[in-house]
Chain A
Amino acid sequence: MNRARWTQLLVGLAATVAVTAVCRLLGSANATTVGFAYLLVVLAVASWFGFPEALAASCAAAAQYNFYFLPPVGTFTIADTRNWVALGSFLITAMVASELSASARRQAREAELRRRDINRLYELTRATLLADPDSITQEIERALVSIFGFRDARLELTRDGNNNAAAPSSTVWPLRVGKGEIGRLRIWGSTVNQEGSGAIAGIVAIALERARVLRESSHLQALRESESLKTALLDAVTHDLRTPLTSIKAAVTALLDREGSTALEASRGDLLAAINEESDHLNHILQTLLDMARVEAGVLRLEPRPQSLAPIVEAAIAQARVDPARVRVRLPPSLPMAQADGPLLSQALAQLLANAGTYSAPHSPIELGAESEVGYVTVTVSDHGTGIPAASMPYIFDKFYRDPQARERRPDGMGMGLAIARGIVAAHHGTIEAASMPGSGARFRLRIPSVDLPLYEHAHSDH
């Protein structure tokens, strides 16, 4: 018995002594009143402290009742038989009442414990059902420790195969879904009984199963989406590839045809030129597809380093296949360097230049300017074409989107150029935006993070 129980016992005894003292001092109290007073004290002890304390208190009360109040007063002998009956009924009443009130108290405590258990299980359910399916194991382990106060908890899932049996001072609960065991829950410092552990293991197993199903269904969803994307891509590509292939095949078979060769002699050069052009076209399609695939897969391996814009612009103009004389480049001399992957950024810029060239009059100028902003270099490419229709504006950076007007002007375009440019710029942590006023041309603006570095100091020290 611990100290608290001893204290409770003594308090119980002291209370009976107090009743005796008060009744003696008042003097006038008759035996019946005193008996009820003792009974009250015993009941109070029973409901506050419990049965053993009440038992001790009732014995003490009976003894004092006998000694001080039942005649002959001052002895433990009882003269009148009726007083025996009184003492006996007092003792029995005291004991039954204390047993009843103590058990009521016990039940209340158990109900409180059960309520707490249910509350914890509820919290565990909440925590595990709201958990992200990808980090479910860690979240369950964390929830078990914080909600139930375990020293540590670890999930050993069958599919992970980590069944390390040797973990001292831990208890293991199997996790079952249906008939199969999906793993085990290992707990250090468990204070939960058999029933509780079953409930916890059940909740954990259901949460794990739910996460698995969620993961699988979202994976399926993603697969389905990428499948439909692939189909769309395949359709577009098949068409784009077949056109140049058809011309090549036709031209080559014409050249191989010996019977018609004399008649063909005049157009021989034309046919060969067509084959040459169409091969270039095929190569362009292939490169576009490759670029798009790299942008899409997010595997653009950027090798960014401080780059001045001039070589990027030069390479872009060379790559874009626009007449270089049309491009008016204005780069301020004090422009900071861009933190960029040269070849990729020039490809994005080439795309904008090529678009500007395609969607404006053949000899109209294309302006390429740059300026510095805080932390960024911005490059603008403007043309003097018909601009971008407002209705198309929200979609021009989408893959495969082709403005009806653009389709008319360049029927063989793939609708990927701006999507690629945006992908490249995004990989640089930059932005790209388009602006257009009807009839006054389109204007594209790239923002690329800049680096502040002293540029030419070293190089000029030679003079």
Chain B
Amino acid sequence: MSMRILIIDDAPQIRRVLKSALVARGYEVWTAATGEDGLEQFRQCLPELVILDLALPGMGGVDVCRQLRQSSATPVIVLSVRSAEGDKVRALDAGADDYLTKPFGLEELLARIRSVMRRRTAGGMGDIIRLGELTVDLNRRTIAHGAGGSGEDSKLTPKEFELLRFFLANSGRVLTHRALLQAVWGPDYGEQTEYLRVFVNQLRRKLEPDPAQPRYLLTEPWVGYRFEPPADA
């Protein structure tokens, strides 16, 4: 059975191009031009994924996202433009799974769709994770070098461990600064992006083959971070 995707965007050309491109890739595509119509269609077709433009007339995309989340856990990918970082963060905090900045290439969209869906079926990762040459053991809180986990170990501090565990549980997903701070430091936090920066850099030094060019712990400028799982995981 083909996967069903609902596209909510007010621009007819974008609906048309996305629909024909996604149908050609074997997806079943429904479309809606407004947020209100989108919510209605959502109830009717029960899609497995929603692609949602943030700049909708009338009911805005962030509100649509919030309403969808009240009744469903269906993954949502939001579409936004540059210089609207605030909207992206609000949408992600309202429950969106990922975002794409317009204009984007189809390959990028397909990769995000695959990543979101894989996450959905796979859930979080196990307790022992292989990252290239590294083996992360969440039970022992260690990172071992070498394939067999027999190499030199490095220890994680409690906060680093909390942070890494949250990244792994939400692997592939864009996590906003606020979401990360509140998950690891507590509900009083949200603005202290500097703490995060320091800890993410410490984790990168322990995890990344080249901390200056991170492969797993990626920065989403002005929005947050994303843990990109290795392709074979």
Contact = CB atoms under 8 A, between A and B. Distances in A.
A456 B201 CA distance: 13
Interface string A78-94: 00000000000000000
A318 B221 contact: yes
A458 B103 contact: no
Interface string A228-264: 0000000000000000000000000000000000000
Interface stretch (A16-24, A307-315, A430-438): A307-315
A427 B149 CA distance: 53
A319 B83 CA distance: 12
Interface stretch (B20-28, B64-72, B127-135, B189-197): B189-197
Interface in B64-116: 82-83, 85-86, 103, 105
Contacts of B157: 462-463
Interface residue SS majority, chain A:
helix
A47 interface: no
Interface residues of A, number: 26
B158 A279 contact: no
Given A310-B197, A343-B83, A462-B158, A283 B221 contact: no
Contacts of A279: 103
B159 A462 contact: yes
Interface residues of B, number: 21
Contacts of B159: 462
Interface string A131-167: 0000000000000000000000000000000000000
A311 B82 contact: no
Contact of A290 (B83, B158, B192, B198): B83
Interface in B168-209: 191-195, 197-199
Interface in A433-463: 455-456, 458-460, 462-463
A314 B158 contact: no
A459 B198 contact: yes
Nearest to B192: A458
A346 interface: yes
Contact of B191 (A305, A310, A319, A459): A305
Contacts of A287: 82-83
A303 interface: yes
Given A314-B221, A315-B221, A343-B222, A458 B195 contact: yes
Nearest to A291: B83
A431 to B, nearest CB: 23
A458 B186 CA distance: 14
B221 A343 contact: yes
Interface string A314-334: 110011000000000000000
A310 B194 CA distance: 10
Contacts of A415: none
Nearest to B158: A462
A342 interface: yes
Contact of B194 (A280, A343, A455, A463): A455
B219 interface: yes
Nearest to B219: A314
A459 B163 CA distance: 13
Contacts of B221: 311, 314-315, 318-319, 343, 346
A304 B64 CA distance: 28
B85 A459 contact: no
Contact of A459 (B83, B86, B105, B195): B195
A308 B221 CA distance: 14
Contacts of B103: 279-280, 283
Given A279-B103, A462-B159, A315 B194 contact: no
A311 B220 CA distance: 11
Nearest to B85: A343
A334 B199 CA distance: 18
A343 B219 CA distance: 14
Nearest to B86: A303
A413 B221 CA distance: 26
B147 to A, nearest CB: 30
Interface in A281-307: 283, 287, 290-291, 303, 305
B219 to A, nearest CB: 7
Nearest to A460: B198
Contact of B222 (A308, A315, A460): A315
Nearest to A337: B194
Nearest to A310: B197
Nearest to B195: A459
B219 A459 contact: no
A438 to B, nearest CB: 35
B185 to A, nearest CB: 9
Q: Top 3 nearest A-B pairs by Cβ distance?
A: A315-B221, A459-B195, A459-B198
16 contacts: A308-B194, A308-B197, A310-B197, A311-B193, A311-B197, A311-B219, A315-B221, A318-B221, A319-B221, A342-B222, A346-B221, A455-B194, A456-B195, A459-B198, A459-B199, A462-B158
Interface of B: 82-83, 85-86, 103, 105, 157-160, 191-195, 197-199, 219, 221-222
